[in-house]
Every structure is written in structure tokens, then in C-alpha cells.
Structure 1
Amino acid sequence: MAILTHLPRQLLPTTPGRLFLLLPATTRAFSALSRPPPNYPGHVPLTTPERVLLGAGSALVCFFNPRRADLIAACGEATAVPYFIYRLRDAMLRDATGRRILRERPRITSKSLDLAQLRRLRDGSVGREYVRWLDRERVSPDTRSAVRYIDDPECAYVMQRYRECHDFYHALTGLPVVREGEVALKAFEFANTLIPMTGLSMFSVLTLKPRERRRMWATYFPWAVRNGLGAKEVINVYWEEELETDVDTLRSRLGIEMPPDMRSIRKAEKERQRREKEMMKGV
């Protein structure tokens, strides 16, 4: 069984004064019982049938159990090649900040970010909104799985970067970590990044309650498509350098408008249902 292994990019001269980016590739045959050495720590080379089975199987399980973060990660990697992760990498190469991120390869963890310092930043700053969102949702930047199934080391970093920036997208949009909020954010991410896993996650709308599905179709999907397509590509945000930036200023710069406050809507809905139940008891 053969797969394509992408070699490092080379810039070769063509016509005078012009350079074209070429992506040379070689074909290397291997089987599940005889794998080539990993291209980076933790890398697991997959044959094409293995990749197809991993993508389909993990997508199916995640549809019924969206809390399986490990399988969501596996699905994202298995379905991102051979095209989509290279498209996202190339989007970074076309942007000055994106190129710098690829060159410096920063990581977003509780060690690289001083969360205590972020809590002391002024209200309304990106860093303060980010850590407030982490505290409110009781999540940590250290929970993101390491990339394993993408062969190209640079593209593996792009996927890792996308994964570690996900909580910043939550903080930027205010969408909570509930199934409804995740579906809405994945729709935004799909429109902005075209990563297939984010598009597949949108099918989870079928598992929502009827009123949540109506809200998604009427409000959050239109918001996600409009803002995902219209905004600058969020993969090119150097979040570590924007921590003291006013969050509204960053939203304006990226072209992102806040969606309706899902947390407040859900809270008001639960309160209304509680009052209706009490009224029914009193009848």
C-alpha cells in the first residue's frame, strides 16, 4: 500500500524575477506491519485504508458521543489530508503573521501562558476574557491532544495550533461549552478554515433538542456562515501577542460580530420552563 509523503518545500527559480512554491513528493510503500519511522515524536504513519477507517469510525462514534475528545482529534487529522491541512498551511504562508507563527511555532499551554497574570489584566482585554472563559467553563489549555496522524511535521503543527487556539475562539465569540455552543462554533470554524471535521460536527445539530435545532437554523448557523466567510482567517492570529488588546478592537479587526448570548438565552429559557411548571402545579 502506498501513501504520499510530502518533502520539505523548495523554492526553485523559473522565469527571471519570479519564484514558484513547489511541493515535491515521493511515494513510499509500507504496510500496517512494516511502517516507516515517525517524522516527529508521537507520529503514527497510516496506510490509506487505515486513514479511511479511522476517519469514518471516529466520526460515527463522535456523532453519538461528542465528549470523546480523543476521537474528535483523530477524526480531524484523518480527514484533513491530503488537501485541507495543506490549504490551511498555505493560508498561513500567505500572511506575514502566519509565516511568523510557522517559523516560531509557539504553543498554548498553562506553562506558556501565565494564567495568574492574565487574571490581573484589565476587563475587556483578550487575555482577561480568555482566562475568564476558562474559569467559567472549568477547562484548561492543557487538555488538547497531541497530533499523531498527519505525516508532514509542519502541517502537524498547523493542526496543533488550530486545536490549541480553539478556546480563544470560544472567548472571542462567547459561545459556551455545551453541545449547542460547540455546534455553533464548529460551524464558524468550518466556514473560516474548511477543516472537514468541523463541517462533520455540524451534523450534531440532529442530536439537539427541537428548540435548540430551531435556534441553530434560525440564528447561529446564519451567524456562523456570515462571520466565518467574512472574517480574516483566525489561524493567523498570534494570540500570545494580543493578550492586552481590547477584545472588541480585535473582533473589529478580524471582522467578527458577537452572536446572540447563548448562555443568557438558555438561562432565560430554563427560568421560563420552571415558572410554567410551577404554574401547572398550582392549577
Structure 2
Amino acid sequence: MAFGNLRHNLDFLSTLKGVVALLRDPNQTESVYDIEDGLRHIKATELAVEFVKSKPGVAELFQERYLAPSVNIEALLQLPQESLGHAYASYIKDSGFDPNFFRPLKVEDDASYFLLRMRQTHDIWHIVAGFGTDVFGELGLKAFELAQTHRTMSAVLIAGGLLSTLFKHPEELDNLLNQIAIGYRLGTKAKPFLAKKWEENWERPLLEWRQELGVEPAKEYVP
């Protein structure tokens, strides 16, 4: 019992530290992982795992523990321009991102697999769903994720984004609420993104992916 209470307290402190740092600077990516690491063992994360595994095709990936190898951006740029791989590589290169930027996580159970797979495919979700990388775009995607997965971090970041906007940019509240509403609506209508092995079908046209998944992109990324 004492160990459980200690872990709970440490998780709470990690979450609180991440939220405070993120409110100060929304571009602090490491703070996002502090939040999620602190939420990993709570009941809501357990329920989120149960929720996503109930979706068609997702439980099989959990059983397989499917994780894609590191991507070769230059090789993906050689694919046809209409392909997901080319769109992804162009997005990564134009933005100056590192495709392996995410904090690593040892897969020990369903929860850790869920979090790692979400981190690994974050930018793919951005492209297919059509959300930008500014603060509003990120929060729109978080609303999309919340609808699709009930991911605990998504809910916390949305709440933090609303709080930050109320204090720092209250004139933008309507725009933010609209973006969150768009993301959540798109997420409820689309088929499960988490069920897809995107990396095994880089050459497939982005438009075909969207049609299969029932996605009307919020803001289409143009390489």
C-alpha cells in the first residue's frame, strides 16, 4: 500500500510539473511527456486502453505489439507526391522535425504499448487528419485523439490550453473552442486510426487513406 501511495504521489508531481511548465511555454515538448508519464498508471488510462481495444482492428495490434522501425526520410521523398510517405517526409523536412523526437518508453503492458504507439504515429495523425502544428492545430488534434482513444493526456492538454487562453489570449477563446469542436467531431466520425500500420503502406495515396478512414481533413497539408 505504501509503495502504491508513493507511486501515486510521484505520478501526480510529474503531471503537475508538466502542466505548469506547459502553461508557461506551450512549445515545451518534454513537458507533454512529463504529463503523460504521470498519467500512465491512473484508472482513466486503463479505461482508455479498454476503449481503444474495443475498436475494430486495434486489439490485434496490441496483441502483436506492432511498432514500426525508424523511417528513412530521404527514401520516402522518392515516393509519388500523392503518397502518404511523401506527404509525411515533406512535412517532417519542411518543419525541421525529427521523426524520432518522442520520449522512448519500454513496452511492459498494454498501457505502455498504447502510449508508445501514439507517440510514434503522432505526425502521421497530423497529416491524415489535417491539423497544423501551431498551438490551435495541436489542440484540435488532441480533441481528435480524445474522441478516438480517450487518451488521458489529450484531455489534460485541452484543459490546459483552455486555461492558458483564458488568461493569456481571451480574445482567441472562440477560435480555440471551434478548433476543439472540429477535432472532436472529426474524431468521432473517422474509423480507428490506431488500427492502421501506416508504415507498411507509405506508397498508398493520402487521399485513399482519408477515404478509407472517413476523414474530411481539418486543414489539408500541402507538401
Check whether TM > 0.5.
yes
2:161 corresponds to: 204
The residue number in structure 1 matching 2:145 is: 189
Alignment RMSD: 2.8
Q: Residue 245 of structure 1 corresponds to which residue in structure 2?
A: 204
Say whether the 8 Å CA contact 1:85–1:159 is kept in structure 2.
Answer: no
2:49 matched residue in structure 1: 89
- The aligned counterpart of 2:118 is 162
Q: 1-side partners of 2:169 and 2:68: how far apart?
A: 34
Q: For 2:189 and 2:211, locate their aligned partners in 1 and report how far apart those are by CA, in whole Å.
A: 12
- Whether 1:136 aligns to 2:109 is no
Distance 1:189 1:241 in 2: 22
Q: How far off is 1:85 after superposition?
A: 3.3
Cα 1:128/1:84, change in 2 over 3 Å:
farther
After TM superposition, give the deviation of residue 163 of structure 1 in Å: 0.8
Instruction: Report whether the alignment pairs 1:105 with 2:52.
Output: no
Give aligned pairs, total. 218
| Structure 1: gaps (5+ residues) | 3-28, 33-45, 264-283
1:125 and 2:98 aligned: no
What is the DSSP-based 3-state SS (H/G/I as helix, E as strand, rest coil) of the residue aligned with 1:141? coil
C-alpha deviations, 1:41-83, integer Å up to 9, x for none?
Answer: xxxxx61111122222322221222222222112113224333
Q: Whole-Å Cα distance in 2 between the matches of residues 119 and 261 of structure 1? A: 18
1:30 maps to 2:39: no
Query: Corresponding residue for 1:269?
Result: none
Higher strand fraction: Structure 1 or Structure 2?
1
> Residue deviations 1:71-119, cap 9 Å, x none?
211211322433343334335544564344334434345xx32322211
- Residue type of the partner of 2:99? P
2:12 paired residue number: 52
Q: 1:174 to 1:52 in 2, by over 3 A?
A: same
**Alignment partners' CA distance in 2, 1:242 and 1:210:** 42
The aligned counterpart of 2:218 is 259
Structure 1 residues 108 and 64, CA gap change in structure 2 (3 angstroms): farther
> Helix, strand or coil for the counterpart of 2:124?
helix
Matches within 5 A, 1:11-30: 30=3
Contact 2:51–2:150 (CA<8 Å) still a contact in 1? no
Superposed CA deviations along residues 250-272 of structure 1, whole A, max 9, x for unmatched, are 11222221114599xxxxxxxxx
Q: Does residue 69 of structure 1 match 2:14? A: no
Partner Cα distance (1:84, 1:255) in 2: 27
Q: Could you say which structure has the greater relative contact order, defined with CA pairs below 8 angstroms and 6 or more residues apart?
A: 2
How big is each residue's C-alpha offset from its partner over 1:198-224, in whole Å with a ceiling of 9 and x where there is no partner? 112123144374564333333x22211
Whole-angstrom distance in 1 between the partners of 2:211 and 2:192: 13
Shift of 1:247: 1.2
Aligned to 1:143, what secondary structure does the other structure show? coil
The one-letter amino acid paired with 1:144 is F
What percent identity do the matched residue pairs reach? 21
Structure 2: gaps (5+ residues): none
How much has 1:144 moved relative to structure 2? 0.4
- 2:203 maps to a residue whose letter is E
Mapped partners of 1:31, 1:94: distance in 2 = 28
Distance 1:126 1:88 in 2: 28
Instruction: Tell me if the contact between 1:58 and 1:75 (Cα under 8 Å) persists in the aligned partners.
Output: yes
Picking from 103, 111, 118, the partner of 1:145 is 103
For the pair shown, which has the larger CA radius of gyration, 1 or 2? 1
With 83-92 and 133-142 compared, the bigger mean Cα shift is at: 83-92
